[in-house]
Amino acid sequence: MDYRKSAAPVSTVTRNLDLMTQGTGNIYETVIVVSRRSNQISVEMKQELNKKLEEFASYSDNLEEVFENREQIEISKFYEKLPKPTLIALQELEEGKIFYRNPDSLEKQK
């Protein structure tokens, strides 16, 4: 997924709890769903960042290279400015892009 095009806000916003709990019916279950999706997003973003920064990996300690590598610094700054994974997950929940199921509730229905 391309997180650069996410419509998630960069800062915290007030959210309507009734809208957030429509799918689960329980705020605690909603928090678990969002936190698990947030962890998935965080891992994906970290892997993407590490993949881009591998190009700049230096296996020898050279002080001159540290100051000359501005492109690496720009990539890192770009990722710091992206919305946090939790905010992206909350945005996905509001847009209905998260699929989740509770195996415990499925067993109770049977």
Q: What is the pLDDT of residue 21?
A: 86
Rounded CA-CA distance 69/106 in Å is 53
Q: What is the pTM of this model?
A: 0.77
> For residue 37, which of 52, 23, 56 has the smallest C-alpha distance?
23
Distances (CA, A) of 109 to 8, 9, 25, 104: 35, 37, 15, 9
Give yes or no for residue 101 having a pLDDT over 60: yes
pLDDT digits (tens, 9 = 90+) for 13-69: 888 888 888 888 889 999 999 999 999 999 999 999 888 888 776 666 565 555 557
pLDDT band at 103 (very low <50, low <70, confident <90, very high): confident
